[in-house]
Chain A
Amino acid sequence: MNMTATKIEGETATPAATVAPVVALTPKRRPRTEAYARMARETAVRVIPPLVVIALLTLVWELVCRRAGSALPPPSKVFADTRELIFDPFFDHGGIDKGLFWHLSASLQRVAFGYSLSAVAGIALGVLVGQSVWAMRGLDPLFQVLRTIPPLAWLPLSLAAFRDGQPSAIFVIFITSIWPIIINTAVGIRNIPQDYRNVAAVVQLNPLEFFAKIMIPAAAPYIFTGLRIGVGLSWLAIVAAEMLIGGVGIGFFIWDAWNSSHISEIILALFYVGIVGFVLDRLIAGLGKFVTRGTAQN
């Protein structure tokens, strides 16, 4: 092999650069089965620990509540008592004697309504408070006081105002979930980097374009934090509100079960409430992740 050595003569010579050949490597394909095995392993790592914990807790519960005279039913009895409710969630015998699906869907409808209203109003107010110093000075103290009022404290007032259970429940959802949305949106708007505002100024975006093209995308991570807290709060509030207003809904189902001493049904309903709350939270989180995928700072 011939090597050409470059000598630097005096101060002027430059070392010659040798160009290395570029070799394109074809990426090695892993065998399919191996990929599946790895996927299965990864899933197992995440799924098995919670399953073990749940099994252990159920066992403890069974052992504690099994003896005669226990106040609460053991899981085996819960399952036996609520078989019908679990396997047929769609029955409808009129009145409030319906399957759990109908109760949950009534509650979800109220939440969807109240939460949508509070999302729209909350983002609008948040933008106002974040953008205008005077709006913040005027409104922020009010928000700080109002947001500490517990959801149910609003219910009597809204019943007096609307004279009907349905709009009152929706109002309670609205007033409970709006505060974190307002506050987080305002923080997001206030944290928009000056650079983005400068870009908008140089390009001469009008206020409407600035709102749609800069503000909302830039504040989206904050807005979705607020929306996520909001959806959790509204699910908390709906169950409590429905216990008081009655009618079809998972909250009243629980209250009704308590009145007729069906403790097993209460436990089943709590289980469903938890699952639905979890799904709602994940739904908003997933939506936020999808919408803000490009917003990450770099």
Chain B
Amino acid sequence: MTAYLKLDHIDKVFTRGVASTEVLKDINLTIEKGEYVSIIGHSGCGKSTLLNIIAGLTGATTGGVLLENREVNSPGPDRAVVFQNHSLLPWLTVYENVKLGVDKVFAKTKSRAERDAWVMHNLNLVQMAHARDKRPSEISGGMKQRVGIARALAMEPKVLLLDEPFGALDALTRAHLQDSVMALHQKLGNTILMITHDVDEAVLLSDRIVMMTNGPSARIGEVLEVPLAPPRKRLELATNTTYLKCRQRVLEFLYERHRFVEAA
């Protein structure tokens, strides 16, 4: 088993003046190529901070991130992020938003025509080619997130980082988009790391679920394998015993052993 992405003893301490808070403590995780891993935990447990560290947007206090045995500590297109609130640039069209990344990543390796075709190919993958000339304000929330996914995919990342990608969507759109992401993962075989707080989403999509304890000093509490073969069908899984067992395990972890006390 070779480690593709390796989180090595990551600690994160936020310091403000004299007060300092330890957010993450001793996070160790190895992810294989092509794996879909979800990180789940209550809000405020530092899972978004962890994703930002992997993306290189925030530095770890100690420890580091290894991608294909090379340390990465600054942001780059090899770890493209799909942000929770889509983060499309409102003054660019759908096409231009995707092209922004493509032009940078493939500036030397692809010709202008090839880059154009590549942008359209990725918009097609998320079924958004029809809206290529629309601005983000003219399309729905689910469509924006599709474009966000296309933008990330188009950079051909080694690891695709999803930061609560469906959190801001309504339930129907969310289910629809989850199916799309599942289909894309099967088709392209990307390595995906997803942050979520939705138990069903985690069990449905992931090969492994990483459960985090409550902060401060959040650790990895438990890692659960989801032994369900693809393609997974939402409706069939509703009665599948393995699915239900996995779901049960995660729920127990979140609501019995690591209850979110502040919310009570």
Main secondary structure of the interface of A (DSSP, over half): helix
Q: Are A217 and B89 interface neighbours, CB within 8 A?
A: yes
A202 contacts B by Cβ under 8 Å: yes
Q: Tell which of A85-93, A125-133, A229-237, A289-297 binds the partner.
A: A289-297
Interface residue tally for chain A (C-beta within 8 Å): 22
The interface of chain A, by Cβ under 8 A from chain B, is 193, 195-196, 198-199, 201-205, 209, 213-214, 217-218, 220, 292, 294-298
Give min CB distance, B98 to chain A, whole Å: 11
Sampled A-B contacts (21; CB under 8 Å): A196-B87, A196-B89, A198-B81, A199-B89, A201-B74, A202-B55, A202-B76, A202-B79, A202-B80, A202-B101, A203-B100, A203-B104, A204-B76, A204-B77, A204-B104, A209-B104, A217-B89, A294-B137, A295-B91, A296-B90, A298-B137
Contacts of B81 in A (CB 8 A): 198, 202
B184 contacts A by Cβ under 8 Å: no
Inter-chain CA distance A296–B88, complex, in Å, is: 12
Main secondary structure of the interface of B (DSSP, over half): loop
A199 in complex: contacting residue of B74, B76, B87, B135, CB < 8 Å: B87
Q: Are B104 and A214 interface neighbours, CB within 8 A?
A: no
Inter-chain CA distance A294–B104, complex, in Å, is: 23
**Please, what's the 1-or-0 string for B73-105, where 1 marks a CB less than 8 Å from any CB in chain A?**
011110111010101011110000000110011
Interface residue tally for chain B (C-beta within 8 Å): 25
| Nearest residue, chain B, Cβ from A214 | B89
**Please, what's the 1-or-0 string for B50-92, where 1 marks a CB less than 8 Å from any CB in chain A?**
0000011100000000000000001111011101010101111
Contacts of A214 in B (CB 8 A): 89
Q: Are B87 and A294 interface neighbours, CB within 8 A?
A: no
B155 contacts A by Cβ under 8 Å: yes
A294 in complex: contacting residue of B74, B85, B91, B155, CB < 8 Å: B91
